[in-house]
Structure 1
Amino acid sequence: MSSIGDTVVRISPTLAVVVVVLAGLAVTTNYLGQTGYWRDTVVATLRAVVQLAALAAVLGVVIQKLWASALFVIAMGCVAAWTSAGRVAHRRATFRRSLRCVLPVALATIVIVTVMVMIGVLPPTGLAVIPTAGIMFGGAMNTTSLAGRRAHDELVTRRGEVEAALSLGLLPRDARLEICRPAASDALVPGIDQTRSVGLVTIPGAFVGMVLGGASTTDAAIMQLFVLISLLAVSAIAAVITTEMVARELL
């Protein structure tokens, strides 16, 4: 049992019981509240257990080699794209839709991480590249899923307005974009609120992790700022690309 682990949370059989109880609470609340997501909560919980166990076993080997870390990052991007593809249009993910989702979900992250490694800001090690890319993939994935769903829902709800815009001579892409863009942009709100309230409402994980690892609070704050700003960047790119692709009926 590590001292860092004890500082964050006491790792013991009691913790395992607490995790099970919390998972049960989430499932039960979703079921009784008729949110429609109790099965998804069960699946998400079970997947988290299996995937984190696999991550703990694999990561120690992968981070030793940069090429292996790069392959791991590519795999992460593919999974993120597949996840968003299944959420964007409320349909089961297909290979073609997942391939298209790579653009908003993974492109910006891969470019940013590659540039940072090339200019020396990010060390060319798996220990640095994998977590950084993973955080960005997660932000872009969430934004793509939310922006895509909101865009599609708005186009369905306001279909008459789209047809009216078409009757006025607007191109199909322009008519759809005019209707869905404001709604899709709401996907950026969580990231913006997280950034503007950091240190006042939440103390993010990257900050806590660095401090517990022995870094100074100043270094931890700088690192956390980088994480938050990079999330704003990849999320903005993801939202714009997703909205454009929905408007062009590519997603």
Structure 2
Amino acid sequence: MLPVNATLGAVLAVLLVTAAGVAALAHLTDARGRGYARPIAVAGLRAAVQLAAVSALIGWVVRAVPLLLCFLALMFTVAVRTAGRRVTENGTWWWTAVPIGAGVVPVVVVLLLTGLVPLKGIALVPVTGILIGGALTATVLAGRRALDELRTRHGEVEAGLALGLLDRDARLEIARPAASDALLPGLDQTRTVGLVTLPGAFVGMLLGGASPVLAGAVQLFVLVALMAVQAVAAAVVLELVARGRLHREPRAPGRTARRRRGSRTLDGAEGE
């Protein structure tokens, strides 16, 4: 579809510089005031290096099951680290492994047991990668939105505690709608597929010579599986935030966070 030559490299470089330049000129920043120009440039360069490495290794990895499992474990680890650091900067980031794993593992197991996806790298790696990517996105969006909402509306959480609600229930009432918005990108993509967008799996299979019917069936499977994975991931993240397992409270060295079940203060989950 695209020739791999100097022209492609030049166009990619121009697009990356344009993206970073627009972010810098528009002063696009996060909640902490950190600009997005540098992260965009770094992300583009990292993508080039990582894809080059994967392209070189994928043929070797898919030949043996042990290597395949190690590669899948690496994908999962990187996803957890990425999601965790996007949600919080303290030591609770590793809890993001739970929603990602809870969403992806059952779906992959079902696909293997039913034979829809064989235990071969050429099939398992792309399918698992798509599912892990979807779970990562839902985890980040749900976690960040839930914790932002708790921080902004902490007074309402305290009001719920004053009325007799437990910590978990008070936080759920505030964080649930915000965390649920993490499902919107996947939902909109599924609702508009074929009308607004033609996703990668569909286009890739067509370019590979598959029939439109087969390409459509595979794409439908990917979209439905993604909705299932993202729904589970968002629900688990919400529960972790409500229980205070995943939060933004800084921890002093040598001190563990104190949690009291049924406490009437925001304690470590404010934002918490």
TM-score > 0.5 by shorter chain: yes
Q: Aligned equivalents of 2:25 and 2:244: distance in 1?
A: 37
Q: Aligned equivalents of 1:14 and 1:162: distance in 2?
A: 56
**Is the contact made by 2:87 and 2:93 (CA closer than 8 Å) also made in structure 1?**
no
Which of 170, 188, 211 is the aligned partner of 2:165? 170
Is 1:205 aligned to residue 200 of structure 2? yes
Q: Secondary structure at the match of 2:68?
A: helix
Is 1:107 aligned to residue 102 of structure 2? yes
Q: Aligned equivalents of 1:32 and 1:218: distance in 2?
A: 45
**Is the contact made by 1:81 and 1:106 (CA closer than 8 Å) also made in structure 2?**
no
Q: Aligned equivalents of 1:202 and 1:106: distance in 2?
A: 28
**Is the contact made by 1:150 and 1:184 (CA closer than 8 Å) also made in structure 2?**
yes
- For 1:217, the equivalent position in structure 2 comes to 212
- For 2:9, the equivalent position in structure 1 comes to 16
Which of 86, 93, 97 is the aligned partner of 2:93? 97
Q: Aligned equivalents of 1:97 and 1:156: distance in 2?
A: 17
What is the count of residue pairs matched by the alignment?
240
Q: Report the Cα offset of residue 14 of structure 1.
A: 1.1
Q: Aligned equivalents of 2:162 and 2:77: distance in 1?
A: 40
Give % identity: 50
- For 1:5, the equivalent position in structure 2 comes to none
Matched letter for residue 57 of structure 2: V
- For 1:50, the equivalent position in structure 2 comes to 49
Q: Report the Cα offset of residue 111 of structure 1.
A: 2.1
- Residues 24-103 of structure 1: pairs in structure 2 closer than 5 A: 24-36=17-29, 37-89=36-88, 91=89, 94=91, 97-98=93-94, 100-103=95-98
- For 2:258, the equivalent position in structure 1 comes to none
Q: Report the Cα offset of residue 20 of structure 1.
A: 0.2
- For 2:226, the equivalent position in structure 1 comes to 231
Q: Secondary structure at the match of 1:127?
A: helix
Q: Secondary structure at the match of 1:195?
A: helix
- For 1:249, the equivalent position in structure 2 comes to 244
Matched letter for residue 40 of structure 2: T
If the length of structure 2 is used for normalisation, what is the TM-score? 0.86
Is 1:146 aligned to residue 141 of structure 2? yes
Q: Aligned equivalents of 2:6 and 2:42: distance in 1?
A: 23
**Is the contact made by 2:99 and 2:135 (CA closer than 8 Å) also made in structure 1?**
yes
**Is the contact made by 2:103 and 2:230 (CA closer than 8 Å) also made in structure 1?**
no
- Deviation string, structure 1 residues 101-150 (Cα, Å, up to 9, x no partner): 11111232122112211221111101111100000000000110011000
Q: Report the Cα offset of residue 214 of structure 1.
A: 1.4
- Deviation string, structure 1 residues 168-189 (Cα, Å, up to 9, x no partner): 0000011011001101111110
Matched letter for residue 76 of structure 1: M
Q: CA RMSD in A?
A: 1.1
Q: Secondary structure at the match of 2:193?
A: coil
> Can you give the 5+ residue segments of structure 1 that lack an aligned partner in the other structure?
1-7
The runs of 4+ residues in structure 1 deviating greater than 4 Å are: none
Q: Aligned equivalents of 1:66 and 1:199: distance in 2?
A: 36
Q: Secondary structure at the match of 1:174?
A: helix
**Is the contact made by 1:162 and 1:175 (CA closer than 8 Å) also made in structure 2?**
yes
- For 1:4, the equivalent position in structure 2 comes to none
- Deviation string, structure 1 residues 45-85 (Cα, Å, up to 9, x no partner): 11111111110111110011122112211110111011000
Matched letter for residue 243 of structure 2: R
